[in-house]
Amino acid sequence: ETGVTQTPRHLVMGMTNKKSLKCEQHLGHNAMYWYKQSAKKPLELMFVYNFKEQTENNSVPSRFSPECPNSSHLFLHLHTLQPEDSALYLCASSQATANTEAFFGQGTRLTVV
């Protein structure tokens, strides 16, 4: 148990659906991250939030929309996804963005049909 919880663990959605992924940490960390892990690429950083403010958007398509209402919660809103967006989406947190140790959740396995 890393202290970072993601829900749901598995999600199947159609290309016209809207869904949201949730991440929660009660470690007192100030930085939170979304990563994409797919079968054909290394782990890709998507978004970084620091003290609830987005500090990094790694050229992510607008069909992925993050939200960070407070330092403990991070959402990834999904809309009009493509089959190639199917992947494992991992949330992580760290005390600060400068820290090398990030704590990852178990991920949400997303399948777009």
Interaction site with other proteins (CB under 8 A): 2, 4, 37, 39-45, 48, 50, 55-56, 88, 90, 92, 97-98, 100-107, 109
Q: Which is nearer to other proteins, 56 or 67 (CB)?
A: 56
Neighbours of 1 (CB within 10 A): 5
Alpha helices in 43-109 (DSSP H): none
Q: Which is nearer to other proteins, 78 or 92 (CB)?
A: 92
Q: Which is nearer to other proteins, 70 or 100 (CB)?
A: 100
Residue 75: CB minimum distance to other proteins, A: 17
Cα(32)–Cα(45) distance, integer angstroms: 11
- One-letter amino acid of 48: V
Residue 70: CB minimum distance to other proteins, A: 19
Residue 16: CB minimum distance to other proteins, A: 26
Q: Identify how many contiguous H helices and E strands the chain contains and give both numbers.
A: 0, 11
Cα(53)–Cα(49) distance, integer angstroms: 5
